[in-house]
Amino acid sequence: MSTFLEPHPSIESLPPQQTIKVREWVPLQPPSASDSPTLKLMTWNVLAQITIRPWYLPHNDCLKITERGALLPREVLTYNPDIACLQEVDRLRKLRAKFRSAGYSHTFASGPRKLHGCMIIWKSDAFDKVAEQTIFYDDVDVNLVLYGDDGKRPKRIASTKVTGNIGLIVALARKDDESKGYIVATTHTFWNPDFEYEKARQNGILVNTVRRLQASDERYSNWPAYLAGDFNTQPTEASYSLLTAQLLTPAHAKSLSDSRVIHISRDPSIPPSPDVKEDEGSSAAPQPKAGDENDEDREQRRKNRGACSTTYSADRTIRESRRAVDSDDLLSVEELERLYGFEEGKGLRSGYAEALRVTSAGAKDEVFGGRVQDTMGTIDYIFILDAPGATSKTEILGVLKPHTKEDMEPGLPKAGICGSDHISLMLELRNAG
């Protein structure tokens, strides 16, 4: 039976003319007398204004910040989460002020020279932050992650491309019982489908870091971890199978092999492609000044213009890249699997996959996402990593239904529907440990 959630009271302070379509909330279990605390957890890529290009979103009717700015806090406050993970956050000062006035605390981090970043907010009267960590994927020593500091192995980045992407983790203790709490992680993983290996590396580093944090303090032994963000991987791809501890298929192995390349950002001796040019700018978003934009932002802008889609030469080498050689010391498939640290079948639980199987009679794959032009896909997730010392699994008590395909036509963002090209996800969770 569907229902609607009570919005946050401060939503009344937002401009009434900028509205969203309020989605239904689906309880998955009947009311319980359990005294175990529950948690409403949201994740949402809010679409950084700096990345918007009108020619990439020709049918969208709310691209300017004056048209969509108020839709961003309205989306969050409409569903009133206890904790929310946000990606592609720019215009931080204004968003921070809105959330602070609604009673949220926050932490924010971004990659070097990035103009947008990741943000985690939580209700100030409910939680205390007891730990925080930012992961700069470009700089992580995978030998240290895999083998510990034994002093025998040199630093090993094992990365194919400098991307500027990060992960952000907080440990939050409940104010009503500081022995209970949650580890919450968010990420905005590199987007380019040509670089499947790099995406798998980044997502694996996040999972490994969260698992090590869970094991670092006895207090965390009964704290579940929730990894919620834009993982930029679809359910059919290798990274998703690694995250959920499924067997890699021959197609997965091929995609990882094909993307074992070294990009010009890692090897400056590689000649640049002469046909890749900067775009001319747009009226919807200011152009960054020289030195304010890194390689990932430039590539995002090329993607938006349509000049940097999947492109291979005859030997399947990705543009501005060369094939990796042994001396590049990239991770093997076995090392990637070790990085995630899961036994087969005991990986992360995808909260929406579980919830939507209950509500849609056995859907096998994730069936939610955003719509941009003719592209619809799922790259945002709320993953559950049950507490190491828990005697039972985290329960999913309710789910925020996705928008319908009709609502998302011809594309997001869309006035009266959603202020981003991604839809927000939210679950209500209960940890019985």
Which ranges of 244-294 does DSSP label H, i.e. alpha helix?
250-258
Q: Under 8 Å CB-to-CB from 173, ≥6 apart: which residues?
A: 127, 128, 130, 179, 180, 181
Q: How far apart are CA 85 and CA 81, in angstroms?
A: 10
Half-sphere exposure of 163 (CA within 13 A, CB side): 27
Find tokens 């209970």 and name the residue: 180
Which of 403, 402, 424 lies closest to 87 in space, CA to CA?
A: 424
Q: Under 8 Å CB-to-CB from 105, ≥6 apart: which residues?
A: 121, 122, 123, 124, 127, 129
The one-character DSSP state at 367 is -
What are the residues facing 318 on neighbouring strands?
Answer: 312
Average the pLDDT over each of 101-105, 235-239, 371-375 and give the range with the smallest value: 371-375
Find tokens 């091929």 and name the residue: 254
Average the pLDDT over each of 197-206, 228-237, 290-299 and give the range with the smallest value: 290-299
Phi, psi of 268 (to 5 degrees): -65, -10
Q: How far apart are CA 182 and CA 203, in angstroms?
A: 20
Residue 182 has pLDDT above 50, yes or no: yes
Give residue 56's pLDDT: 75
The pair of three-digit structure tokens given for residue 21, joined into one six-digit string: 């379509």
Residue 58 has pLDDT above 90, yes or no: no
Give residue 40's pLDDT: 98
Q: Cα–Cα–Cα angle for 106, 423, 77, nearest 5°?
A: 45
pLDDT-derived band of residue 365, with 50, 70 and 90 as boundaries?
very low
Give residue 310's pLDDT: 37
Q: How far apart are CA 374 and CA 397, in angstroms?
A: 33
**Sequence letter at residue 337:** E
Average the pLDDT over each of 43-52, 58-67, 332-341 and give the range with the smallest value: 58-67
Q: 240-261 pLDDT, tens per residue?
A: 999 999 999 999 999 999 999 9
Give residue 147's pLDDT: 87
Is-cis flag, bond preceding 112, omega within 30? no
Q: How far apart are CA 288 and CA 37, in angstroms?
A: 45
Give residue 227's pLDDT: 98
- Dihedral, CA atoms, 205, 230, 349, 136, nearest 10 degrees? 20
Which of 191, 151, 176 lies closest to 82 in space, CA to CA?
A: 176
How many other CB atoms are there within 10 angstroms of residue 38's CB atom? 14
